[in-house]
Amino acid sequence: MNILAIESSCDDTAVAVTSGRTVLSSAAASQIPEHVLYGGVVPEIASRRHIEAISSLYRQALNAAGMTMRDIDAVAVTYAPGLIGSLLVGVGFAKGLAFAAGKPLVPVHHLRSHIAANYITAPDLKPPFLALVISGGHSHLIDVQDYTVFHVIGKTRDDAAGECFDKTARAMGLPYPGGVHLDKVANGGNPDTYPLPKPRVDQNPLDFSFSGLKTAVINLIHNHAQKGETVCVPDLCASVRKTVTDILLDRTAKALDTLPYRTLVLAGGVSANSEIRRRMAEECQKRGIAFYKPELSFCGDNAAMVGVQGYYEYLAGTRADLSLNAYATMNIETLC
């Protein structure tokens, strides 16, 4: 089954053609060189760049797969969550394309597709399993009961892990995207130099909180500046990375103790972080359970993962008509 997939939830425009779990083609346009001028994503600019790029990427993806729309069985598109203007570009293009070509339209939840990125390179992976989804806007522990059945058992109460990385990196003067640069700089630092708080959440021991950690790092930098002192950036990067990883690992370990699953899946843009990947692998090896993580090329936003999840949504009967809208927020458990 051939699916043409579209992703435009933030600042990456992407179109891919997939068949089941196999990626036949993938075309993408990154906006990082432009947004780096502002230190972060500017939503209005992102929306405009999606409009400019999506048509040519659609043609590139079809040509690279050696196909036309006659060979496509369905159109899949990310409809939530994300930047609303960016999402609307992809949803609008997908609706027009599906209508003109007479193809079924399959709405795909962004976090579901991040989990599906693991299916691309792991033919043996199948639900049920525990998934840790970490990105700039989300930090979720998810009980993946089936390909289209998800239950959130833990999530952030405030900031996401990726936002904590990005905002603390920016406070240290690192360029955008901050989390990537923080990870690299941290490799040359001492993670025990700056003791940092590890906030906990009442009621649910599996929930996360990163706002207090972010604030503590920013205050540390300001306090040093007021005293005429400077922080050691590599050491502070290493300390932030270790603390965030400690928090993620603590909640994930508790979830593994709670659920009977013998598989942990890592997903989302922050799953590219080298420390998180290493320590999660060590924890799983210690417990004797299987550990899966996406290839680095599929950690960030891409259309291939949308196509793969779209395949399973299609099999489950998920369809949308021309009334499909985009949503800035949407629970992963919710079907369109």
How many CB atoms are closer than 10 A to CB 22?
14
Contacts of 116 (CB under 8 A, 6+ apart): 305, 306, 308, 309, 312
* Cα maximum dimension of the chain: 67
What is the CATH number for 252?
Answer: 3.30.420.40
Are 147 and 288 members of one domain? yes
- Residue 40: predicted pLDDT: 87
Sign of CA pseudo-dihedral 122, 186, 269, 28: negative
Spatial contact of 141 and 113, defined as CB atoms under 8 Å apart: no
User: What span, in angstroms and rounded, lies between the C-alpha atoms of 199 and 30?
Assistant: 34
User: What span, in angstroms and rounded, lies between the C-alpha atoms of 99 and 323?
Assistant: 12
| 335 is a domain residue | no
| 323 is a domain residue | no
- Residue 310: predicted pLDDT: 98
Are 306 and 277 members of one domain? no
| 330 is a domain residue | no
- Residue 336: predicted pLDDT: 63
Are 179 and 36 members of one domain? no
| 133 is a domain residue | yes
User: What span, in angstroms and rounded, lies between the C-alpha atoms of 17 and 197?
Assistant: 45
Are 152 and 225 members of one domain? yes
| 98 is a domain residue | yes
Instruction: Provide the β-strand partners of residue 30.
Output: 12
- If one counts the domains in the chain, the total is 2
- Residue 196: predicted pLDDT: 97
User: What span, in angstroms and rounded, lies between the C-alpha atoms of 295 and 62?
Assistant: 23
* Ranges of H-type helices in the chain: 32-35, 43-65, 84-101, 110-121, 161-171, 178-186, 211-226, 233-258, 274-287, 303-315
Are 188 and 147 members of one domain? yes
Are 43 and 61 members of one domain? yes
- Residue 112: predicted pLDDT: 98
Contacts of 5 (CB under 8 A, 6+ apart): 15, 16, 17, 18, 75, 76, 77, 108, 303, 304, 306, 307, 310
289 alpha carbon, distance to own chain's centre: 23
Are 230 and 209 members of one domain? yes
Are 134 and 148 members of one domain? yes
User: What span, in angstroms and rounded, lies between the C-alpha atoms of 125 and 158?
Assistant: 31
Spatial contact of 193 and 241, defined as CB atoms under 8 Å apart: no
Are 34 and 104 members of one domain? yes
| Regions in the chain scoring below 50 on pLDDT | none
| 331 is a domain residue | no
Are 150 and 244 members of one domain? yes
Question: Do strands 129-134 and 139-146 pair parallel, antiparallel, or not at all (unpaired)?
Answer: antiparallel
Q: Is 213 left (phi over 0), alpha (psi -120 to 50) or beta?
A: alpha
pLDDT one-digit tens code per residue, 95-141: 999 999 999 999 999 999 999 999 999 999 999 999 999 998 999 99
| 332 is a domain residue | no
| 326 is a domain residue | no
pLDDT one-digit tens code per residue, 252-287: 999 999 889 999 999 999 999 999 999 999 999 999
Spatial contact of 191 and 245, defined as CB atoms under 8 Å apart: no
What are φ and ψ of residue 94, in 5° steps? Answer: -65, -40
Are 137 and 255 members of one domain? yes
Are 161 and 287 members of one domain? yes
Domain of residue 202, residue span: 126-294
